[in-house]
């Protein structure tokens, strides 16, 4: 039976929950205190007013719509001069105290060849960054959050605006809103390795690990890491590409890329190529924010082609709700520092895109010159945040450690009674990974962790302002001190997250707070992860028949290592990473299962190639 929460405990829970709920609301209220302007060409004014009216009705935020030519007429005698827009904005934003809470939205594409007639020339560009429009004083720093809808025609603009309105007013409520995808380039750059030391190059995997560690433990973070995939004969990694497309189509609130890139491509290994793979994205109801700590992925200023970020925004069958990407070659290390601050603002502080990104540009340790290369292709007032959350999941008796075969009861106390359904997941512990590689006498290595997989999932009906469930901790789940539980709670009007972290899962042989317990049958393998082989060590308490077999995640037999009698004792056996047909298996998760007449032990291992 689940233990009821005391009145004092419930008051604490409600206070914490209200604090989380109020954080986003406070950011909306701050936006009401600012000034907001939308600048559009004459042909886009109807759609601009549609967006402004929506924000007035939905959030009571007033957005002034101004025609671009009217600015030219007033400030530059009708000459199409981008400096005229900046001078207009200097007068419009005459109160520096509200700058951070304000916004500028440019509606229309623009190119460096402004004098060439083209659908891409709708709103002028200024220098190499839209930030130049909002440098309102003499310090050479942007002062107002700014974004751009790079629409070339009314059809594209209506698609972008309708998506933004739908995203806000009628979102698809599901787990995807609490998931983030991080994709990283591998260590290969031509015939060389990079990221060999903290100062000699960008270690993409290490930067992804750093980002993961500063974000809320309530957010489910998936990672497609280039180092974990095999390269084909063409130097590409098609399985990584497939996993990216699968994750995006399944639904991710955020898709962040770290690595090399250009206008059409993520990574030298073809992780994603817009010109050939855009049509594989089928996610119109699960549009992520796309960001790239890369180069030229967002170069919207070319007359000859549409960059990847533009294509994402105007692709009818999916794509993204917004993109933050650079127009020019950018520094990888400085870009990662920028996004480290930006995603803390988005995920931990619930800021909107414009405020979060301007704050990151101004207050992180990233180079301001590098940061200004990045533009928001999207609405700076858009909130792209995971659901509000608190930590009010209680395990009966509040144990710090749970063991294999434990019967667990879980209770969730909600801040309100506004929700009707809950999808609960219990996750295995995170686990440590190590990767190394040698090429042309250069040695590369990196330590990182992997998020635990769900081992128990249940849909629960919420009763009033609480829910509860019970389950048994199955043997063979990943042990460790960083397991978690997450509940996605929702109804037709909104959603909420509750989580508990960290939780220790033990197989009974060890715990940090209890003495070691004896176990008659013990097995472990080292190294883990491994490439190409690992040693499985095990101890038999009695003589008898044993089986030691390797299985894949589908439960299919991969390799029989032992099937016969052995006397009691300690043994080691090497698995070479090959199946029963002596064919090398692919990278991924595998299980080895040791069976005697009295006991069974099954544990996880990971091959990285």
What percentage of the chain reaches a pLDDT higher than 90? 75
Q: 53: Cβ–Cβ under 8 A, 6 or more apart, which residues?
A: none
Q: Sign of the C-alpha dihedral, residues 415, 417, 419, 421?
A: positive
- pLDDT beyond 70 at 514: no
- pLDDT beyond 50 at 110: yes
* pLDDT at site 521: 67
More confident residue, 531 or 22: 531
Distance CA 596, CA 594 (A): 7
Encoded tokens for 318: 């999916």
Mean pLDDT, residues 570-591? 88
- pLDDT beyond 80 at 7: no
Burial of 92: CB neighbours in 10 Å, binned 0-12, 13-18, 19+: middle
- pLDDT beyond 80 at 37: yes
* pLDDT at site 14: 37
pLDDT tens for each residue of 374-423: 999 999 999 999 999 999 999 987 677 888 888 899 999 999 999 999 99
Distance of CA 404 to the CA centre of its chain: 31
User: What pTM was computed for the model?
Assistant: 0.82
Distance of CA 358 to the CA centre of its chain: 20
DSSP 205-218: HHHHHHHHHHS-TT
- pLDDT beyond 80 at 136: yes
Distance CA 226, CA 193 (A): 13
All structural domains of the chain: 7-15+391-506 (2.60.40.1930), 33-170 (3.40.50.10390), 172-386 (3.40.50.1460), 522-607 (2.60.40.4070)
What percentage of the chain reaches a pLDDT higher than 70? 93
Distance CA 346, CA 220 (A): 15
Taking CA 213 as the corner, what is the angle to CA 209 and CA 219, rounded to the nearest 5 degrees? 105
* pLDDT at site 520: 53
The dihedrals phi and psi of 370, each to the nearest 5 degrees, come to -70, -40
Distance CA 387, CA 384 (A): 10
Provide the 10 A C-beta neighbour count for residue 108: 25
E strand or H helix at 349, and its extent? none
- pLDDT beyond 90 at 605: no
- pLDDT beyond 70 at 53: yes
């Amino acid at each position: 039976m689940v233990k009821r929460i005391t009145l004092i405990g419930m008051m604490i829970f409600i206070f914490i929950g209200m604090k989380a709920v109020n954080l986003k609301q406070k950011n909306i209220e701050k936006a009401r205190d600012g000034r907001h302007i939308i600048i559009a060409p004459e042909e886009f004014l109807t759609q601009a007013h549609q967006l402004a009216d929506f924000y007035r009705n939905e959030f009571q935020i007033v957005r002034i719509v101004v025609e671009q030519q009217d600015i030219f007429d007033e400030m530059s005698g009708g000459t199409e001069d981008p400096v005229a827009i900046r001078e207009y904005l200097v007068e419009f934003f005459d109160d520096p105290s509200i700058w951070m809470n304000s916004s500028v939205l440019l509606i229309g594409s623009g190119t460096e060849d402004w004098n060439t007639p083209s659908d891409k020339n709708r709103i002028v560009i200024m220098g190499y960054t839209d930030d130049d429009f909002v440098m309102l004083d003499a310090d050479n720093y942007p002062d107002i959050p700014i974004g751009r809808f790079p629409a070339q025609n009314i059809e594209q603009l209506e698609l972008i605006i309708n998506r933004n309105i739908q995203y806000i007013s009628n979102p698809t409520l599901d787990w995807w809103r609490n998931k983030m995808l991080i994709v990283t380039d591998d260590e290969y750059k031509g015939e060389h390795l990079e990221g060999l030391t903290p100062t000699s190059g960008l270690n993409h995997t290490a930067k992804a690990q750093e980002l993961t560690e500063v974000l809320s433990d309530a957010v489910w973070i998936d990672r497609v890491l280039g180092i974990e995939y095999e390269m084909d004969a063409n130097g590409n990694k098609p399985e990584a590409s497939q996993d990216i497309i699968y994750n995006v189509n399944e639904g991710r609130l955020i898709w962040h890329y770290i690595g090399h890139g250009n206008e059409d491509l993520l990574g030298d290994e073809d992780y994603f190529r817009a010109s050939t793979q855009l049509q594989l994205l089928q996610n119109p109801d699960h549009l992520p924010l796309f960001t790239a700590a890369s180069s030229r992925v967002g170069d919207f200023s070319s007359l000859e082609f549409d960059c990847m970020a533009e294509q994402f925004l105007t692709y009818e069958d999916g794509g993204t709700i917004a993109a933050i990407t650079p127009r020019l070659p950018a520094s990888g290390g400085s870009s990662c520092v920028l996004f480290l601050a930006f995603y803390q603002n988005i995920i931990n502080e619930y800021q909107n895109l414009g405020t979060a990104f301007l704050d990151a540009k101004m207050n992180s340790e990233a180079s301001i010159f590098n940061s200004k290369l990045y533009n928001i292709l999207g609405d700076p007032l858009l909130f792209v945040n995971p659901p509000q959350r608190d930590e009010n999941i209680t395990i009966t008796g509040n144990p710090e450690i749970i063991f294999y075969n434990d019967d667990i009861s879980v209770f969730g106390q909600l801040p309100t009674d506004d929700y009707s359904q809950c999808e609960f997941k219990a996750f295995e512990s995170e686990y440590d990974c190590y990767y190394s590689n040698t090429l042309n006498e250069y040695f590369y290595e990196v330590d990182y962790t992997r998020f635990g997989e769900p081992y128990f999932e249940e849909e629960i009906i919420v009763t009033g302002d609480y829910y509860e469930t019970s389950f048994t901790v199955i043997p063979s789940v990943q042990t460790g001190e960083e397991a978690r539980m997450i509940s996605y709670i929702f109804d037709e009007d909104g959603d909420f997250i509750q989580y508990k972290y960290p939780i220790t899962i033990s197989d009974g042989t060890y715990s940090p707070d209890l003495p070691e317990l004896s176990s008659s049958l013990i097995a472990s393998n080292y190294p883990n992860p491994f490439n190409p082989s690992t040693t499985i060590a095990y101890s038999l308490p009695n003589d008898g028949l044993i089986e030691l077999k390797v299985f894949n995640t589908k439960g299919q037999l991969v390799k029989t290592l032992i099937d016969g009698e052995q006397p009691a004792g300690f043994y080691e056996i090497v698995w070479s990473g090959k199946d029963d047909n002596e064919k090398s298996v692919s990278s991924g998760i595998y299980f080895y299962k040791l069976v005697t007449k009295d006991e069974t032990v099954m544990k996880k291992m990971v091959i990285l190639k």
